[in-house]
């Protein structure tokens, strides 16, 4: 695929760092992948949930990069998309260290705790920047989080009623995946319809632009269709993955984790960025 075609698919802000940074990230990632392939740790629902703080970490690191909070020497590790590879390398290395630390270390709780200990100060740094720059905004971004929680509960109730066996199979990992995409959708809607941001991903922007041309726009805004599409897709994909989880639990749960990450990551990024850096002050 040529560069012109790629420009219609990739979000704006997508840029690779210089070669030395790419080599360093690639080497670390390959080493971690080799270690994980050698150990072949089982990926359960608990592991997917333990990786959620790492998803938050990657997104908030990118927000800090956008806010220019990193020294120039290390900033290229945290641009998009390399920040997510960097985060994966650190998370994978942490997982391997926890597994090899001996039976006294509970691996999954240790993985979750390490991600949380890194994510909390990273989010805090972004919010502190908003406080000092007087661009801190809480009501609308937090409303997006609350709306995502309500929509997730409603969507999961439908999934559990229509496909009860599948809902039971994917469990909390499926709920996390639906919540991640709900948060991406609600935060995007708040950003566009209330806070004046634009959508960076062309495919998402096309749905939003289509909704903007509908007669419902004066009443419902432009993001409602995007919310419905995201919820329907997330619920459908999660239900379809249930058979995979039953047949190959580790591989199926790993794919569920990926589905969760591609929703939760952008959603958390939106919320943290909107809280920390909304110049309009809504």
For residue range 167-208, list pLDDT tens digits in order: 999 999 999 999 999 999 999 999 888 887 776 777 777 888
Same domain, 148 and 275: yes
CA-wise closest residue to 221 among 202, 231, 235, 207: 207
Same domain, 76 and 87: yes
What is the Cα gyration radius of the chain? 19
- Other Cβ atoms within 10 Å of 45 Cβ, number: 20
Q: Which residue has the higher pLDDT, 26 or 102?
A: 26
Residue 22 maps to a domain? yes
Among residues 85, 113, 134, the one where a domain terminates is 134
Determine the Cα–Cα distance for residues 80 and 78; give it in Å rounded to an integer.
Answer: 7
Predicted TM-score of the model (pTM): 0.90
Instruction: With cut-offs at 50, 70 and 90, classify the pLDDT of residue 234.
Output: very high
Q: Is 35 exposed, middle or buried (0-12, 13-18, 19+ CB in 10 A)?
A: middle
Residue 32 scores a pLDDT above 80: yes
Same domain, 124 and 157: no
Determine the Cα–Cα distance for residues 33 and 170; give it in Å rounded to an integer.
Answer: 25
Instruction: With cut-offs at 50, 70 and 90, classify the pLDDT of residue 2.
Output: very low
Instruction: With cut-offs at 50, 70 and 90, classify the pLDDT of residue 261.
Output: very high
Among residues 134, 149, 167, the one where a domain terminates is 134
Within its chain, how far is the Cα of 58 from the centroid? 8
Determine the Cα–Cα distance for residues 112 and 64; give it in Å rounded to an integer.
Answer: 21
Cis peptide before 178 (omega within 30 of 0): no
Question: What pLDDT does residue 259 have?
Answer: 97
146-177 pLDDT, tens digit per residue, is 999 999 999 999 999 999 999 999 999 999 99
Same domain, 150 and 176: yes
Same domain, 103 and 199: no
Same domain, 155 and 97: no
Residue 8 maps to a domain? no
Instruction: With cut-offs at 50, 70 and 90, classify the pLDDT of residue 282.
Output: very low
Question: What pLDDT does residue 14 have?
Answer: 66
Provide the number of structural domains found in the chain.
2
- Other Cβ atoms within 10 Å of 176 Cβ, number: 26
Among residues 85, 105, 134, the one where a domain terminates is 134
Same domain, 40 and 171: no
**Average pLDDT score over residue span 3-8:** 30
Same domain, 246 and 141: yes
- Tallying the residues shown for the chain, one arrives at 282
Residue 7 maps to a domain? no
Same domain, 158 and 277: yes
Domain span holding position 205 = 135-282
């Amino acid at each position: 695929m040529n560069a012109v075609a790629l420009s219609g698919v990739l979000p704006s802000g997508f840029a690779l760092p210089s070669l030395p940074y790419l080599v360093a990230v690639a080497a670390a990632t390959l080493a971690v992948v080799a270690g994980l392939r050698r150990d072949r740790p089982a990926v359960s629902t608990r592991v997917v949930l333990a990786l959620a703080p790492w998803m938050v970490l990657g997104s908030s690191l990118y927000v800090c990069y956008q806010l220019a909070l990193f020294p120039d020497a290390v900033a290229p590790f945290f641009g998009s998309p390399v920040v997510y590879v960097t985060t994966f390398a650190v998370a994978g290395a942490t997982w391997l260290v926890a597994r090899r630390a001996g039976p006294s270390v509970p691996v999954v709780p240790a993985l979750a705790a390490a991600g949380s200990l890194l994510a909390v100060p990273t989010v805090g740094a972004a919010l502190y920047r908003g406080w000092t720059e007087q661009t801190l905004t809480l009501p609308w971004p937090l409303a997006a989080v609350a709306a995502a929680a309500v929509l997730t509960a409603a969507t999961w109730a439908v999934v559990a009623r229509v496909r009860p066996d599948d809902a039971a199979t994917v469990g909390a990992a499926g709920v996390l995946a639906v919540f991640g995409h709900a948060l991406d959708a609600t935060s995007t809607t708040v950003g566009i319809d209330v806070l004046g941001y634009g959508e960076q991903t062309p495919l998402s922007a096309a749905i939003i632009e289509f909704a903007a041309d509908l007669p419902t726009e004066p009443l419902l805004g432009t993001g409602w269709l995007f919310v419905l599409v995201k919820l329907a897709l997330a619920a459908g994909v999660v239900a379809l993955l249930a058979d995979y989880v039953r047949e190959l639990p580790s591989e199926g749960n790993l794919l569920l984790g990926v589905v969760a990450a591609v929703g939760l990551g952008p959603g958390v990024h939106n919320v943290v960025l909107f809280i920390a850096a909304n110049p309009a002050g809504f």
